[in-house]
Every structure is written in structure tokens, then in C-alpha cells.
Amino acid sequence: MSCEFKIEPSTSRATINKNATSERLVIQTLLLPETPDGVNQAAKILTHGGLCAFPTETVYGLGADARNSAAVAGIFHAKGRPQFNPLIVHVASLEAAEKYGVFNEDARALAQAFWPGPLTLVVPLRADAGLSSLVTAGLGSVGLRVPAAPLAHDLLQTFQGPVAAPSANPSGKISPTTAAHVVDGLSGRIDAILDGGSCEVGLESTIVGCVAAPTLLRHGGLPKEAIEQCLGHDLADAKKGEISAPGQLLSHYAPSAPVRLNATGKLAGEVLIGFGATKDADLTLSHSGDLHEAAANLFDILHQANALNAEKIAFAPIPEVGLGQAINDRLRRAAAPR
Ligand code: TXA
Ligand code: MG
């Protein structure tokens, strides 16, 4: 898509110059600093129905007021999402979350143990929640999350309302872990980006369904083992049950070049991404073989590999334990047929 845009570091008035057609969006995207003034401007944009990307500890989210259907529809338009998948609603506290969802004992125990943090809980939607039905895609449940990143917390406190936010990338592309990644993918299509530097965790939240028995809907930044330890039993597996996170497309996080997994060596034309002491690696997720470091680096490395215009991107094997399960899930989607 071609679009004209201008990014200006600015703390001034959010001048929004929209000239939208179904094919083309021309917006001046503001880059807001991580100051109280930047946070106030971001909250103002949300209040007026605008779209503002903001950093969480997992990835950057593309936020809109979750009660405002026009604003939420703008998220789908800006991302080019093919379908109306349900979106995660971000709030400042468990108390705020309980205005929108019904928490059973398990859900409350998980929220108390892991919020704020990289965990999304899908719980029954409250009848009086007042959320746009686009946010829940008409389901009777809602995904709720209290992010830990201080800037996200400040924004949610200042805005004082529920913020619907998918990852701030064009649909199907690599998730963003820096403001520069968001600029690459969405500038000219959204009103502002609150720049809080790099995301600490670097992988999206783990999603647990708490509508019936606690069920793992998506691997993510909180290892499954930690959740099972808190519950005192195993999570049900969504693949075996009825419920799933409907937004999980098989091909996702796709860089331009095809991806090869479990590479034990480098083939001609490949950029090889290592883990631990991989021989001939061009880039490395973690030299020391640390899964937390690898998770935090994953999307940035995919963005870097993309920029190298390789014919193919190969990844060394990643152990299927702890955060390795979420990393491998993302890599399998990046490698899936397009
Ligand atoms: O870390 C994260 O979770 C990031 C940051 C921005 O918070 N957000 C994120 O959102 O990854 P997104 O839209 O890329 O992924 C949301 C996932 C989708 O797979 C969607 O289907 C699932 O959450 N989801 C949301 N509400 C749901 C519901 N009511 N039932 C089942 N799945 C739901
Ligand atoms: Mg996403």
C-alpha cells in the first residue's frame, strides 16, 4: 500500500489530518515521548476515538477505547485484519477488570498471582460491561489483561477506561517490540505512537480461558508451568477442547523470506539465526542459550533478518520448555505456508 505520512517527535497538539478512503489512509502519526505530557496526549487521543500505539511489557499494542465501536473498527482497518477477531481489553487493575468480566475462583487466583503481567484471562462477559461488540466479536466472553509496563499502566490510569489493543503490526506480520517497528508497519495509518523503548518480555501474553476448566488458549510470555503451579493442576489443552483463541492464524509473524526451522547448519542464501553456540549464525537469539533473552529478542531479530533481504531465514532448534514453547509457537507460524 502506498501512503503519505510524516512522523514528528512532538509534544504539541495532536493534529490529526485524516483523508481516508477504503484503499488509502493519510494521517500524520505523532511520536509521543514517555513523559507525563506524552501520556496525557495519548489518553486524549483515545478519549476522542483515535488510535494510539503504546508499549506493554510483551509487545506494542494498538489501542482504542473499547467502548467506542467506531474507534475499535479503526483498529481492524489500520491493521488490515481480514476478520473481526476478538481483541484483548487492557485495564489498570483486577478491580477494573471485574467491571467487564466475571471472575471465578481460578480466574481470580491467576489474576492475583500474575497481574500486572503477561497473562490474558478469557472470562464470561458481564451483561452490563458496555464494551463494543466488535471487541468481543459477539462472543459471550472477553479477554482481559493488566499490563505491567509502567508506561502502559500510566496510560490506563490517565485514560480511566478499557483499552482494546491487538499487537500494533499489520495483520499477519511480525509483532512490534520497539516504537520503530510500529513506525515501519503502521505510520500514516494511526494517530500516535507512545514511545517507551523496547518491550521487556518480547512475546505476546499467555492466554488462559477461564470460562470452564482453565484452558491454555495461547502460549506466551508467562510460561505454562508457572500457571499450572499456581492452579495446582494441569491446564486443559485448547486443541483437545471446543474453545480456542479465534485470532490465531496458522500463518502469522511472517517475514518476507520463507522460514526454515530446526536448522542444524546454514544452507546457501540463508540468514541463520542461532540459539546458544550455533555454528555460522548470522544473528543470535541468545548467545548463552537463555530463553528469556531469546523471547525478548525474537521479534526484533525477525525484523532485522527481514531487513537483510535474505532468500531464506533459518532458525536453530529452540528447546520446547518454559518460554521455548511460546517461541516455537511463533516460529511455527512464521514458517507456515502463506
Ligand atoms: O501481549 C499481548 O497479548 C498483546 C498486547 C498488546 O497486550 N496483544 C495481543 O493481541 O497479542 P492480539 O490481538 O494480537 O491477540 C489476541 C488474541 C487473539 O488470538 C484472540 O483471538 C484472542 O486473543 N482473544 C481475545 N478475546 C478472546 C475471547 N473472548 N475468546 C477467545 N480468544 C480471545
Ligand atoms: Mg498479534
The predicted model gives 311-318 an average pLDDT of: 96
What's the rounded Cα separation, in Å, for the pair 231 and 123? 16
What's the rounded Cα separation, in Å, for the pair 84 and 182? 21
For residue 26, name the pLDDT band (cuts at 50, 70, 90): low
Is the pLDDT reported for residue 259 higher than 90? Answer: yes
Is the pLDDT reported for residue 246 higher than 60? Answer: no
- What's the DSSP call for residue 211? S
E strands of 150-218, at which residues? 163-164, 192-194, 206-209, 215-218
| Nearby residues for ligand 2 (ion, Cβ within 5 Å) | 167
Atom of ligand 1 nearest to the CA of 204: 1
The predicted model gives 101-122 an average pLDDT of: 98
The predicted model gives 241-268 an average pLDDT of: 76
Q: Between 150-159 and 36-47, two packed helices, what is the crossing angle to 10 degrees?
A: 50
| Residue 166 Cα to ligand 2 middle (Å) | 6
Atom of ligand 1 nearest to the CA of 207: 23
Is the pLDDT reported for residue 4 higher than 70? Answer: no
- Residue 104 corresponds to which amino acid? N
Is the pLDDT reported for residue 36 higher than 80? Answer: yes
Q: Rounded to the nearest 5 degrees, what angle is found at the Cα of 95, between the Cα atoms of 89 and 96?
A: 35
> 142-156, 244-258, 266-280: which has the minimum mean pLDDT?
244-258
Quote the pLDDT of residue 8. 40
Is the pLDDT reported for residue 126 higher than 60? Answer: yes
| Residue 264 Cα to ligand 1 middle (Å) | 33
What's the rounded Cα separation, in Å, for the pair 89 and 200? 20
